[in-house]
Amino acid sequence: MDGDSPARAAPLQTQWPAPLTPREWDRRFPGILDGLALIAGGANVILQLSCLPVGRGVLESRVESGNIFRHPFKRFRTTVTYLAVALLGSTAEKLAYRQAVNRQHAQVHSTAESPVAYRAFDPNLQLWVAACIYWGFVDAHEKLQGPMTREQAEAFYRLAEPIGTTLQVRPGMWPADLDAFRRYWEEGLRTLEMDEPVRRYLTDIADRRFLPPALGGGRGRFMTTGFLPPALRELMRFPWGPSQQQGFERRLAGLARLNRRLPRFIRQLPFTLAIWDLRRRMRKGLPLV
């Protein structure tokens, strides 16, 4: 994930095809934008930050407003808004959000005291983060809705590319097809590492210690661990066995049954509300991040 790519020097993407509407997403990939999938968010953050330069970048970040332990609800809003912009946003909205995120990312870079070198504008690091997000969408969909057909999987893979190219991932860096992505993903998982400060930070995220106790603070490790790939459970030192897996699957099956009874606009509300709020902020000249 840290190797050089010929596409690194390519210009950033500045035009995207018209996005699918929420209704079209649900028709082509039923449930793919359901807010229920956000329960896997903690696991996805662990995946992203298990790339050590990404983990140290977040841990050492000087962007106080993006600190999940100080501003958890703002952090949630900006994250969901980015996902909504990538999948639902127009070209103008993607460019506006890129500009807003770039102002924050400009402050995220290693110093002489950092144990590893990093910078938030590194397209290879952003490619790993985008790959984690794409993988998370597919994994949560499979666990909650069942697997996609090969045709659906290939179509969603192509449509998911803006998850990376909305920021610094250049055209051509996104693996060419599902097989290429699988090779990239498996190699990435083999090279993940974390130091103890990052592990402690991620353990607190798994335990939702950024929330007050009344909202689940101090709880949540079970569900987070269930969504982690086995290699990441080992890296995090989270024990997991057949009984935990069975309990996790039962809980997910119950949530999925309840979720399927909801109308589409309720299921998709976190994403549609986020894109509505972005458009409101753009109209009023309010900060986007």
pLDDT tens for each residue of 173-213: 999 999 999 999 999 999 999 999 999 999 999 999 999 98
pLDDT at residue 159 greater than cutoff 90: yes
Among residues of the chain, what percentage have pLDDT more than 70?
97
How far is Cα 2 from Cα 128, in angstroms, rounded to an integer?
9
Q: Is 44 a domain residue?
A: yes
- Local confidence band at 235 (pLDDT 50, 70, 90 cut-offs): very high
| pLDDT of 214 | 86
Total domain count, the chain: 1
Whether 9 is covered by a domain: the verdict is no
Is residue 198 within 8 Å of 56, Cβ to Cβ?
yes
Q: Is residue 22 part of a domain?
A: yes
| Residue at 208 is within a domain | yes
Inside any domain, residue 32: yes
6 in any annotated domain: no
- The CA–CA distances, whole Å, from 208 to 45, 49, 68, 162, 241 equal 12, 16, 10, 29, 22
82 sits in which H/E element: helix 72-88
- pLDDT tens string 3-44: 445 455 689 999 999 999 999 999 999 999 999 999 999 999
Torsion over CA: 137, 139, 141, 147 (sign)? positive
Classify residue 287: in a domain, yes or no: no
Mean pLDDT (whole number) for 141-154: 96
Q: What pLDDT score does 9 carry?
A: 66
Tens of pLDDT, residues 109-123: 999 999 999 999 999
Q: What is the pLDDT of residues 213-230, one digit of tens each?
A: 888 888 889 999 999 999
pLDDT mean across residues, the chain: 94
| pLDDT per residue as tens digits for the range 257-269 | 999 999 999 999 9
φ/ψ of residue 105, rounded to 5: -65, -25
Asked if 53 contacts 118 with a C-beta cutoff of 8 angstroms, the reply is yes
Range of the domain at 183: 17-282
Asked if the model's pLDDT at residue 64 lies above 90, the reply is no
Q: Which residues is 119 bridged to in the sheet?
A: 109
Going 198 to 143 to 34 to 154, the CA torsion angle's sign is positive
Q: Flag whether pLDDT at 144 surpasses 50.
A: yes
- 107 Cβ partners below 8 Å, 6+ apart? 61, 62, 63
pLDDT the model gives residue 210: 92
Does 234 reside within a domain? yes
The count of other CB atoms within 10 Å of the CB of residue 289 is: 19
Distance CA 212, CA 199 (A): 21
CA of 182: how far to CAs of 178, 188, 233, in Å?
Answer: 6, 10, 20
CA atoms lying within 13 Å on the CB side of residue 262:
17
Q: Cβ-count burial of 212 within 10 angstroms (0-12 exposed, 13-18 middle, 19+ buried)?
A: exposed
For the ranges 81-85, 90-94, 208-212, which has the lowest average pLDDT?
208-212
Give first-to-last CA distance, the chain, whole Å. 27
